[in-house]
Structures are given as C-alpha cells and as structure tokens.
C-alpha cells in the first residue's frame, strides 16, 4: 500500500503493472501511465472556494494577481490560465482552507466531497474545475508486453 500521490509513480516506473488512483492525482501528475477505466467511486469535486463573506461569486470576480492557496498547483495553474486570470499560487500541503481564514489567500483550489469542511471554515464554492473519481491505470509497457493476464484482470474489474 502506498500513498495516493505515489501510485502513478510506482505504475509509471514499472514497479506496479496496475494501480487505482484519483483523477485529481492524475491531473496533477505528468507521469506516463495508461488511463484505463473510470471506476466510478470516491467521487469529489476539484473546486474553487472563497470566504462566504466575500463579494466573489464567480472566478472572474477575483482580483488580478490575487493569492490562491492549493495542494494542486499544476491543476490550479492550468485552470486559471485557461480562464486568462492572473493569480499568484500559494502551495500548501496541509489545511488549505486556512488560507483565506488567515488572510494568506483570497481563494483556494481543493477537493470537496460533501462541503462540510468548507462550511465549517466559512467558505463557499464558486466553481468546480472537474469531478474526480477513482481510475484504473497501468504501466504502458506492461500493457504492450501483456500475455493477457493483465487484460483478464482489467476485464474482471470492468465487468463489476
């Protein structure tokens, strides 16, 4: 068993032929893995959230060059670049929701399942970047060299 963020590393480097990891981790990773199946469980949204007392109702309401805290820097950068909104990203690895509370950031980009943590910290979602679920991934070379044992496992998982 390895940490969620390490699954694509083990699979990419061939230490594991198959792995299960969240779509959010795949979006943040630049490693080469074969993305096989959306397993449909573990769902949550990658969301943009702000203080519920702010006047920000949508991403374009954020001031230019404001600070946005996130664990998912690559994902957040791609999102804001796609909207052509210049922001300064603050990389946090712990309680990202503290960014706006402490004044370190105007907003956060983080995973939201139920919204309970946001509510408890006085935050609200103003946009969803994407919906993340568990995904089955494989090492591309293992797939090419497979003598059908991996394909049998994949078909078994797919049939469930």
Q: 61-82 pLDDT, tens per residue?
A: 999 999 999 999 999 999 999 9
Whether residue 137 is found in the same domain as residue 152: yes
- DSSP code at position 63: P
Based on the domain organization, do 122 and 70 belong to the same domain? yes
Are 115 and 146 within one domain?
Answer: no
Cβ distance 134 to 44 under 8 Å?
no
* Cβ contact 43:133 at 8 Å: yes
For residues 60 and 102, membership in a common domain is answered with yes
Please report the pLDDT score of residue 1 as a whole number: 80
Tell whether 14 and 91 lie within a shared domain: no
Q: What is the CATH number of the domain that holds 143?
A: 3.40.190.10
Same domain, 35 and 51: no
Mean pLDDT calculated for residue range 17-24: 96
- Note whether 138 and 81 are same-domain residues: no
Q: Exposed e or buried b for every residue in 75-85, given b needs 16+ CB within 10 A? A: bbeebbeeeeb
Count how many domains the chain has.
2
- Note the pLDDT tens digit of each residue in 73-123: 999 999 999 999 999 999 999 999 999 999 999 999 999 999 999 999 999
Global pTM reads 0.89
Quote the tokens at residue 64: 């230019």
Residues 125 and 141 in one domain: no
Burial of 31 (0-12, 13-18, 19+ CB in 10 A): middle
Are residues 144 and 90 part of one domain?
Answer: no
Q: Structural domain of residue 25, as residue ranges? A: 4-42+133-159
Co-location of 147 and 82 in the same domain: no
57/103 same-domain check: yes
Residues 13/6, Cβ–Cβ less than 8 Å? no
The dihedral formed by the CA atoms of 20, 119, 46 and 8, expressed in degrees to the nearest 10: -30
Measured between its terminal Cα atoms, the distance across the chain in Å is 22
Sequence-distant (6+) residues with CB within 8 A of 6 are none
Contact 84, 21 (CB under 8 A): no
Same domain, 140 and 152: yes
């Amino acid at each position: 068993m390895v940490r969620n963020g390490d699954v694509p590393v083990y699979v990419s480097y061939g230490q594991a032929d198959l792995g299960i990891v969240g779509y959010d981790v795949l979006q943040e990773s630049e490693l080469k893995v074969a993305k096989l199946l959306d397993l449909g469980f573990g769902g949550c949204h990658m969301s943009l959230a702000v203080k519920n007392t702010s006047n920000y109702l949508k991403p374009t309401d954020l001031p230019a060059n404001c600070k946005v805290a996130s664990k998912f820097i690559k994902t957040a950068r791609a999102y804001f670049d796609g909207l052509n909104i210049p922001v300064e990203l603050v990389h946090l690895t712990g309680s990202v929701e503290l960014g706006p509370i402490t004044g370190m950031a105007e907003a956060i980009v983080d995973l939201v399942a139920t919204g309970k943590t946001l509510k408890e910290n006085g935050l609200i979602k103003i946009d969803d970047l994407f919906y993340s679920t568990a995904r089955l991934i494989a090492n591309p070379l293992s797939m090419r060299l497979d003598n059908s044992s991996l394909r049998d496992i994949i078909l078994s998982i797919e049939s469930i």
